[in-house]
């Protein structure tokens, strides 16, 4: 490419990084909420400003040129510095924050997330909110690629060195069984082994955690079904097709079927998970801690209190976590 023309913009840099991360113009457009033509125009303008071809967009996924690989490293630094500057201004005056990209675990989408956003919107009058709900592993990927500013998700192991983590909630895994099918005073494990296990999909972290835990207990229940929907799983449990392992949050999401199922502690070694708020360390200053502080009373009100009221034996295991 010949002589440079035009200017390098932050928007152009963000478009370039999103396209490099996603591997296509259309995927970058979906991530950024723009049209594919607008993304293409920004890439062309950026290449013109740099007087260099940055990527081959004729192949799928797109391939960065040597110049593109070099610029990518610089671009990530530039964008991080811009985010840092924006966060410092927002930390000084939170009302100055103009956009906020939040990822929330699917378990919170009906109750907790709307309350949190409505609460934050009162303080951030000029802020545009972008919400992404999904499985924990996908949210961590989006945080890693800077597509999200902050996520609330189930922990996936040791945190990366670039992350700050604020623990929010510890919740145990439970057994959900067809109503009246299991005699809680008898050998619960033997009774469960006589029923098929309706398992949460192992394509997601929670399903893999459950499968690994069963393997550690040397348990091999009959597995006829593997689904990725709490509602579908609980519908099948309610219909008597088998039993399942899930968390209180999963049980609450499938509220339509709760009265047609019994919930019991796992009749073998306990299993639990931690849900935390995570962000890139230092980028958003005090905001992650502030959002975590907003979330804890909501989780107490909407998750812990109603669940423990219904199942008092969960009082020690379903609890908020200190920061």
Q: What is the mean pLDDT of residues 184-206?
A: 91
Structural contact between residues 188 and 182, judged by C-beta atoms closer than 8 angstroms? yes
pLDDT in tens, 116-133: 999 888 877 778 888 889
Least confident window among 11-20, 89-98, 190-199, 265-274: 89-98
CA dihedral 241, 200, 196, 172 (to 10 degrees): -100
Structure pTM? 0.73
Three-state SS at 174:
strand
Tokens representing 162 are 């670039």
Say what percent of the chain tops pLDDT 90. Answer: 55
Look over the chain and give the mean of its residue pLDDT values, rounded to a whole number. 88
How far apart CA 134 and CA 120 sit, in angstroms, is: 21
**Which residues are registered as beta bridge partners of 243?**
197
**Per-residue pLDDT for 209 more than 70?**
yes
**Which pLDDT score is estimated for 3?**
57
**Per-residue pLDDT for 137 more than 60?**
yes
Helices H / strands E in the chain, number of each: 12, 13
Query: Which among 71, 75, 54, 73 has a CA at the least distance from the CA of 10?
Result: 75
The more confidently predicted of residues 92 and 143 is 143
Q: What is the mean pLDDT of residues 18-34?
A: 89
**Which pLDDT score is estimated for 156?**
86
How far apart CA 164 and CA 323 sit, in angstroms, is: 11
The more confidently predicted of residues 125 and 305 is 305
Structural contact between residues 104 and 152, judged by C-beta atoms closer than 8 angstroms? yes
**Which pLDDT score is estimated for 289?**
92
**Which pLDDT score is estimated for 98?**
74
Model confidence band, residue 2 (pLDDT cutoffs 50, 70, 90)? low
**Per-residue pLDDT for 95 more than 60?**
no
Q: What is the mean pLDDT of residues 241-247?
A: 94
Q: What is the mean pLDDT of residues 152-180?
A: 92
Model confidence band, residue 91 (pLDDT cutoffs 50, 70, 90)? low
**Which pLDDT score is estimated for 109?**
83
**Which pLDDT score is estimated for 281?**
87
């Amino acid at each position: 490419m010949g002589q440079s023309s035009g200017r390098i913009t932050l928007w152009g840099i963000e478009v370039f990084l999103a396209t490099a991360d996603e591997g296509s113009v259309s995927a970058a457009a979906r991530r950024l909420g723009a049209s594919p033509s607008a993304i293409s125009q920004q890439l062309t303008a950026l290449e013109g400003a740099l007087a260099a071809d940055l990527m081959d967009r004729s192949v799928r996924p797109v391939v960065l040129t040597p110049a593109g690989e070099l610029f990518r490293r610089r671009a990530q630094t530039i964008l991080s510095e811009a985010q840092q500057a924006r966060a410092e201004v927002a930390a000084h005056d939170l009302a100055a924050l103009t956009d906020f990209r939040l990822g929330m675990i699917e378990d919170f989408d009906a109750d907790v997330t709307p309350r949190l956003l409505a609460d934050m919107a009162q303080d951030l009058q000029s802020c545009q909110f972008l919400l992404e709900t999904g499985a924990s592993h996908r949210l961590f990927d989006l945080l890693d690629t800077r597509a999200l500013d902050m996520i609330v998700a189930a922990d996936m192991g040791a945190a990366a060195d670039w992350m700050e983590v604020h623990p929010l909630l510890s919740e145990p895994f439970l057994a959900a069984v067809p109503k009246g099918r299991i005699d809680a005073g008898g050998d619960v494990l033997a009774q469960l082994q006589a029923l098929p296990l309706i398992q949460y999909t192992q394509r997601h972290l929670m399903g893999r955690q459950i499968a690994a835990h069963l393997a550690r207990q040397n348990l091999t229940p009959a597995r006829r079904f593997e689904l990725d929907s709490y509602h579908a799983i609980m519908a099948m449990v309610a219909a008597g097709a088998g039993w399942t392992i899930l968390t209180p949050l999963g049980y609450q999401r499938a509220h339509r079927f709760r009265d047609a199922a019994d919930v019991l502690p796992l009749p073998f070694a306990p299993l639990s998970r931690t849900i935390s708020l995570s962000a890139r360390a230092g980028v958003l200053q005090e905001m992650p801690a502030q959002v975590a502080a907003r979330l804890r009373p909501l989780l107490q009100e909407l998750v812990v209190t109603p669940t423990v009221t219904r199942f008092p034996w969960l009082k020690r295991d379903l609890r908020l976590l200190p920061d």
